[in-house]
C-alpha cells in the first residue's frame, strides 16, 4: 500500500475544483472546518461525519513505567489519544478500491 499525505492544500484544491469557490475562499473554508473539528475534539466531543466515520479523543490512564538507566519506577502521565473509526460505507468503499487496484 502506498503512502499519501493529504494536505490542507489538497483539500482546498478539491473544494476549488468541485464547488467553484476562489482558491482563497476554498482555503479559508477548509481551515474553518478543520478548526471547528479540532475545537470540538478539544472539548471532548465526538466528531461524526456521516458516511465517513467518527473522530474522538480518549484519555489514556496514568501508569507506571521504569527508567531504563536507573531501573526506578516512574509515573507516566496520562495522555489524550485521537482515534478514528471509519463508517461501514467508508470501509466498503476502501475495500472495493483495493480489489480494483
- CA separation for the pair 6, 16 (Å, rounded): 15
In a domain? residue 1: no
Q: How far is CA 78 from CA 39, 40, 55, 61, 84, in A?
A: 20, 20, 19, 5, 20
Tell me the pTM.
Answer: 0.66
Reported as a single tens digit per residue, the pLDDT across 17-66 is: 999 899 999 999 999 999 999 999 999 899 999 888 999 988 887 788 89
96 and 52 share one domain: yes
Asked whether residue 22 falls in the same domain as residue 53, the answer is no
What's the number of domains the chain is made of?
A: 2
Q: Kindly tell me if the per-residue pLDDT of 83 is higher than 70.
A: yes
Taking phi over 0 as left and psi of -120 to 50 as alpha, with beta for the rest, 90 belongs to alpha
pLDDT recorded at residue 100: 56
- Taking the CA atoms of 67, 70, 72 and 74 in sequence, report the sign of the dihedral they define: negative
Banded model confidence at residue 3, pLDDT cuts 50, 70, 90: confident
pLDDT in tens, 4-15: 788 999 999 999
Query: By residue range, what is the domain housing residue 33?
Result: 8-43
Using the structure block, give the residue that is written with the C-alpha cell 527508567.
Answer: 67
Residues 38 and 8: their CA atoms lie apart, in Å, by: 14
Sign of the four-CA dihedral 10, 12, 15, 18? negative
- Shared domain for 39 and 51, answered yes or no, is no
What is the structure's pLDDT at 40? 93
Has residue 70 been placed in a domain? no
Amino acid at each position: 500500500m502506498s503512502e499519501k499525505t493529504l494536505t490542507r492544500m489538497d483539500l482546498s484544491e478539491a473544494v476549488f475544483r468541485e464547488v467553484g469557490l476562489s482558491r482563497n475562499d476554498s482555503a479559508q473554508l477548509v481551515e474553518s472546518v478543520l478548526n471547528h473539528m479540532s475545537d470540538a475534539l478539544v472539548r471532548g466531543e465526538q466528531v461524526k461525519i456521516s458516511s465517513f466515520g467518527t473522530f474522538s479523543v480518549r484519555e489514556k490512564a496514568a501508569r507506571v513505567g521504569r527508567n531504563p538507566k536507573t531501573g526506578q519506577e516512574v509515573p507516566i502521565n496520562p495522555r489524550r489519544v485521537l482515534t478514528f473509526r471509519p463508517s461501514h460505507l467508508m470501509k466498503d468503499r476502501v475495500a472495493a478500491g483495493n480489489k480494483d487496484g
